[in-house]
Amino acid sequence: MNKPQSAGTSEILRSSQKDEEYLHYLRSLVADITQRCLGIPIWIKWREFSNTFSDALFYSLTTLSGLQTLGEEYSNIIQVNRTLKSVPPRWVRMTDVSFRTFGCYFLLKLQTWLEKEIAELSSATSEEDDPLLVNIKEYLPAVFKALGVMQRLHLIVFYLYGNYYSISKRLTGIKYVVIRRWLAKPDQQLSYKLLGWIAATQLCLSLAVTIYSKSTKSSLDSSTQLHSETSEELVTSKNQCSLCFEKRNSSTATPCGHLFCWSCITSWMQNKEECPLCRESFPPSKLILLQNYY
């Protein structure tokens, strides 16, 4: 019996890109149902969880059910364990799906919660009296930036050696094998290795620039204090976003003259290319970000 052939970088990338197309379609369906049933403000508040729920639903119907995803079927690959001889057990697939769908969501929520707690402690305690608080405020952003660097390093390793496109696959040891050998294209691996070295060079340069800028840049305490003071201003009907019902952040105008938060209206436009108030249709390129407007 021939040894199973590992899927190459091109097959895994093609599968992931195809899955992303179906995930985007499913997210738009869930978002539309949420808007119709619960209202736009609730969807704006929970849109991140809505996308996470859509991803979990997609992988529950495919990977957890022991089936190929639509992208895997398109690329003629299947998931196997590290030995390439058997399908991963259910608990391994469940771990993979959990990390893949909820990992980033909970990390973002943890970052938001930590920043909020630190801000509350800072307002209640003088930083001069609590040096530990000063250290946490200084190094917490660096910790989350380090996670982003790790993600980029993981992607570079994938381009160079293949096997694991997502971190969850690397943690659980799930690999891919090609179902039909004659459809594999191992000769394309060289171009992806070149892309990996380019990405590694870019990462090294960006880290060098960041370190240099950190050593020469002055403290941003004044701008942080100004931001906190601005966020505490009273929200009036004049500067209120009609989608999130909070003070507008980065006011953005539509061609019909209505104003929204930049993040709110761009999120809305991903699902419907129309004004939420008057329903006038227009493309996202017509949105105007108002500089120095409050």
What is the per-residue DSSP string for 102-114? Answer: HHHHHHHHHHHHH
What CA–CA distance (Å, rounded) separates 180 from 16?
18
Centre a 10 Å sphere on the Cβ of residue 233 and count the other Cβ atoms it contains.
Answer: 10
**Chain position carrying tokens 């249709």:** 281
Q: What is the pLDDT of residue 229?
A: 47
Least Cα distance to 14 among 183, 195, 197 occurs for: 183
Give the pLDDT of the chain (294 residues) as one tens digit per residue: 467 778 888 888 889 999 999 999 999 999 888 888 888 888 888 888 888 899 999 999 999 888 889 999 888 889 988 888 888 899 999 999 999 888 888 888 887 787 777 777 767 665 555 666 667 777 777 777 787 788 888 888 888 887 888 888 988 888 898 887 655 566 667 777 888 888 888 888 887 877 777 777 655 544 444 444 444 444 455 678 877 777 888 888 888 888 888 888 888 887 778 888 888 888 888 888 887 776
If we measure between CA atoms, which residue out of 180, 4, 158, 196 comes closest to residue 81?
Answer: 4
Bridge partners, residue 55, by sequence: none
What is the pLDDT at residue 218?
52
**Which one-letter DSSP state was computed for residue 183?**
G
- Rounded Cα–Cα distance for residues 137 and 148 (Å): 18
Residue 205 CA from chain centroid, whole number: 23
With b for 16 or more beta-carbon neighbours within 10 A and e for fewer, the 197-227 pattern comes to eebbeeeeeeeeeeeeeeeeeeeeeeeeeee
Nearest Cα to 242, choosing from 263, 261, 214? 261
State the residue for tokens 């050593």.
215
Tokens coding 134: 């000063």
